[in-house]
Amino acid sequence: MTDKNAVVEKFKDRQALIGIVGLGYVGLPLMLRYNAIGFNVLGIDIDRDKVEKLNRGESYIEHIPGSSIGKARKTGFEATVDFRRASECDALILCVPTPLNKYREPDMSFVINTTDALKPYLRAGQVVSLESTTYPGTTEEELLPRVQEGGLIVGENIYLVYSPEREDPGNPNFETRTIPKVIGGHTPKCLEVGIALYEQAIDQVIPVSSTKAAEMTKLLENIHRAVNIGLVNEMKIVADRMGIDIFEVVDAAATKPFGFTPYYPGPGLGGHCIPIDPFYLTWKAREYGVNTRFIELSGEVNQAMPEYVLSKLVDGLNNAGKALKGSRVLVLGIAYKKNVDDMRESPSVEIMELIQAKGGVVAYSDPHVPVFPRMREHHFDLSSEPLTADNVASFDAVVLATDHDKFDYALIEAQAKLIIDSRGKYRAPMAHIIKA
């Protein structure tokens, strides 16, 4: 039997080697935090290009500067594609994607394949932590049997926890250290070791009674947002029919000092969590004979928003005596939210596809995404258009999809023939601006 106290002390003394599996928007900030407080960190990723970039001291995420990666390389960080090196690590923190498949069901292949790849190299004294958003029961049902397959016993000589990521890329008010960390262990000993792992790097650790409770916590956080955004998106449609500006209404309601949290409508949901997490719970709930109608309805409303934006574009062009077919349309902002380069689940991309499918000639401008990236399901052979006065004026319509701070909104207002504003950036009524 491994001495749990010795494992705990190794983290407290910062002598442990931290292994982070998956070096993306979650794994990379976590690596930097552990590195900054004196831990050696081994990053493991299947993407050889990413690994080589990191080992050269370069970053591939806009809001993480290359200088931070370069500094980490000089102070105990290394990246590798060699999963055999997992045996060197005292902690293995899994930060891999959990997308949906084409049937809107959880795609657990990244979690399962990663665990299977690590399985031969697990050893006594390690703690394995899953951070990927998933359905309640994943840690017990998928990780537990795989971790124990080689004869290790969870809670006795290896430790298993679930601690959901809470990254908010581009948010200047929070960083990895200052965002409280929820953690659930498979056993009380697992929880104790998991707390020792995370309390070194995070200001506040929030223990819960089980891995299932921690998994459900993450889903509740994001479903809360998805449902409220769905509500305000539906109210936007009602308000528009009544000639009311929903953004004015939300601003006014937000002055109430209790009982109201402002959520603002948009062109749909983006990012790796908010559009996806509700489907993880609705899928798992069916196993228990429960229909999550409230959650599913909000998902339907939010998924319909790109079509709503398209309808406003069609109406605007029609009022100008033009058809969408053959019209040149500039989409402003293709990242899923303002001031980042993250394209995951971006509604802007769906809007671009809808415009193209209707015969429109689509282009985009995004200061954070100079070239349209390779994506699993979407592709445009496009580069970001410069926002010069002449170029903006050359398009038949401009669709404001993501309201980056770097855009020159006065220039766009002055030069665009037609603006479809899905973010409420232009509040004053103007003939050539349509709120969507």
Q: Does residue 272 carry a pLDDT above 70?
A: no
Number of H helices, E strands in the chain: 16, 13
Active-site residue identified among 89, 95, 190, 273: 273
Backbone angles phi, psi at 206, to 5 degrees: -110, 100
H or E stretch at 51: helix 48-55
Cβ-contact 387, 354 below 8 angstroms: no
Cβ-contact 206, 181 below 8 angstroms: yes
CA gap 41, 20 in Å, rounded: 7
User: At residue 179, what is the residue type?
Assistant: I
CA gap 214, 137 in Å, rounded: 10
The 10 Å Cβ neighbour count of residue 209 is 11
pLDDT band for 14, please (50, 70, 90 cuts).
very high
- N-terminal to C-terminal alpha carbon distance within the chain: 62
Whether 95 sits among the annotated catalytic residues: the reply is: no
* pLDDT value at residue 237: 97
**281-331 confidence digits (pLDDT tens):** 999 999 999 999 989 899 899 999 999 999 999 999 999 999 999 999 999
Tell how strand 397-400 and strand 433-435 pair up: unpaired
C-alpha torsion sign, points 55, 29, 11, 82: negative
Helix 211-241 vs helix 277-287: angle between axes, to the nearest 10 degrees? 120
From the centroid of its chain, how far is CA 61?
Answer: 13
Radius of gyration, alpha carbons of the chain: 24
DSSP 117: H
pTM of the model: 0.91
Q: Does residue 91 carry a pLDDT above 70?
A: yes
CA gap 74, 41 in Å, rounded: 11
CA gap 96, 98 in Å, rounded: 7
pLDDT band for 274, please (50, 70, 90 cuts).
low
**224-251 confidence digits (pLDDT tens):** 999 999 999 999 999 999 999 999 999 9
* pLDDT value at residue 127: 98
DSSP, collapsed to helix, strand or coil, labels residue 181 as: strand
Share of the chain above pLDDT 90, in %: 86
Nearest to residue 170, comparing CAs of 270, 98, 72?
A: 270
DSSP 137: T
- Across the range 245-272, mean pLDDT stands at 93
Q: Does residue 130 carry a pLDDT above 90?
A: yes
* pLDDT value at residue 104: 80
* pLDDT value at residue 1: 52
**346-394 confidence digits (pLDDT tens):** 999 999 999 999 999 999 999 999 999 987 777 899 999 999 999 999 9
